[in-house]
Amino acid sequence: MNHKKNQDRRHFLKKTGLGSLVALIGAEIVYALPKDYTPLVLENDPQTLFGKHQDLIVRNNQPWNVESPAHLLDDRTTPADKMFIRNNGLVPEQIDLDNWTLTIRGESVNQDNTYSLEELKRKFTKHSYQLVLECGGNGRADYYPPTEGNQWEVGAVSCAEWSGLRLRDLLADVGIKSNAVYVGFHAADLHLSRDANKEVISRGIPIAKAMEEETLIAYQMNGTDIPLVHGHPLRLIASGYPASVSGKWLTALSVRDRVHDGEKMAPPSYSIPCDPVQPGEDVAKENMCIIEKMPVKSLLTYPKSGAIIKERTPLAIRGHAWTGENTVTKVEYSIDFGATWKPCQLEKGKNRYSWQHFQAKVDFPRKGYYEVWARATDNSGKTQPMLTPGWNPKGYLNNACHRIAVKVS
């Protein structure tokens, strides 16, 4: 049997009869299946394995990286079935909740301390926030020359409700030294080589970010246990930074007296040139800076691109806007390719680092082809560029205006 079959797949097989398998495949299974065998056609199906919406786009399956089309992100709070997947390694094959622990260690703790799941839930106050998580490479597909990595379009972003304890409360309980600079995470995902001695990813955040009230050690998503593919049973959530710092399957935190030096902390991973470069230019590692705050951005979630409406019919548009700073202060739309802009109605976010919903009614002057563009501005005065921003070797931080096609007939 294929050794890469994970826990979700086995659970699915135990609960699914032959009739259901036939319905999923869409054809009769002619010969008897071996015990606990997953048909190949389902082996690479995120709908079956992870309960994802059938229209999500698989960018990679070794490891799993799956994108949500923009129109599926219309919910105010992103449901699990429409949430993108970004993995660097393999999903853990066994989750032993009774023996799962979180260890706090490092040069800048008074002494190492280990907590059980039950202790984390019992000892610390539970907090809930709606928090944006966005892959640093969201929008990579638009860069030219092309850059390596998953060719995300616009849907590697979500805003679920995350619940758990504040990281700062945990650090206060452990006791950290005044020389603390960074907090790095360690996790239980498996390296693609399946070598248990190789860490898949171990990134981190500056101590100031760790101390923000919205930075959580989460054990729930949208009011229930975090789905396995999204980090069950524990996940670090540090919204406003690239989602790569929000480590899944959390087993340990290192409180460092220096910038964390774990796997994928060194350039070019999650780093951009410190100064602008020409497209396609090679950049020395010493001239690259770690990405911290994500840029201001917006997404049109209704209607789906390609909408056809009747002449003299106003079009209701809506979407979300977010920023790695604090808040979005303005969202505008354009139907003349950015020559002029009109305001959208913008709501306040539920909390800091949640996305903010916007809407507008759009009138078109006559029949023809149009594009509706959206543009957000944040509280620091930064505005989305109309075109793809500065090229970088890994294709990070594309926050160009999102646009949808509309035909008036």
The residue ranges of the chain whose pLDDT is under 50 are 1-16
C-alpha 229/C-alpha 217 separation (Å) is 16
C-alpha 399/C-alpha 65 separation (Å) is 20
pLDDT number for residue 35: 77
C-alpha 356/C-alpha 358 separation (Å) is 7
pLDDT number for residue 149: 95
C-alpha 241/C-alpha 317 separation (Å) is 28
Question: pLDDT tens digit string along 119-163?
Answer: 999 999 999 999 999 999 999 999 999 999 999 999 999 999 999
pLDDT number for residue 19: 59
What is the set of domains in the chain, with CATH numbers?
1-43 (no CATH), 97-290 (3.90.420.10), 297-408 (2.60.40.650)
Please, what is the Cα angle at 273 between 272 and 275, to 5 degrees?
Answer: 135
Q: Please, what's the b/e burial string for 164-194 (b: 16 or more CB within 10 A of its CB; e: otherwise)? A: bbbbbbbbeebebeeebbbbbbbbbbbbeee
pLDDT number for residue 94: 86
Question: pLDDT tens digit string along 280-310?
Answer: 999 999 999 999 999 999 999 999 999 999 9
pLDDT number for residue 2: 40
C-alpha 52/C-alpha 154 separation (Å) is 18
